[in-house]
Amino acid sequence: MKWSEDRVALLRELWLDGKSAAQIAQTLGGATRNSVMGKVHRLKLGPRTTTHRPVARPARTPARRSAPVQRLAPRLPVLSAEELEAPIAHLNPRVFAGGKVATVLTLTTAMCKFPIGDPSEDSFAFCGRTACHRGYCIHHARVVFKAS
């Protein structure tokens, strides 16, 4: 099929009217949707301006489709009201293998970070028990979060 000047002019007009490539092909006769699209592309007519837009779909929640939420720490159990009200034990730092205790250098996010003792003393250490509530063991979580 040859693109005469008349056909190109009609194509251009129909395209700018917002007709689809298939409609234009039908109107021109002897053209296919693909040949119309190819000519539109070569003429650099740009995207078709439609007057009838498809019904707007509700916006997707970006959280579902974007990158997964990054968690800094695993989700930890939350203390119940009873656990928060129970008497508070005064604990010594947990002693690890070799008689070691949790220090600034050995404390991990999985350990209770409650400080025990005077920081200026050599005996100062962190609790070191398994952290189960926002960085504290069950006993120290009660100390830290009871007032709030």
Q: Using the rule CB under 5 A, is 137 a contact of Zn ion?
A: yes
> Which residues, other chains included, contact 31 with Cβ-Cβ below 8 Å and sequence gap of 6+?
1, 7, 24, 25
The interface region with Zn ion, picked from 50-58, 76-84, 104-112, 116-124 by CB under 5 A, is: 104-112
DSSP state of 99: G
Q: Which is nearer to Zn ion, 4 or 108 (CB)?
A: 108
Residue type at position 144: V
Of 19 and 129, CB closest to Zn ion: 129
**C-alpha to C-alpha distance for 63 and 79, rounded to whole angstroms:** 28
Closer to Zn ion by Cβ: residue 101 or 112: 112
**Cβ at position 120, least distance to Zn ion in Å:** 21
Distances (CA, A) of 24 to 2, 5, 44: 15, 15, 16
Q: Residues 105 to 134: which contact Zn ion by CB under 5 A?
A: 112, 114, 127, 129
Least gap, CB of 129 to Zn ion (angstroms): 5
Q: Which residue ranges make up the site for Zn ion (CB under 5 A)?
A: 112, 114, 127, 129, 137, 140
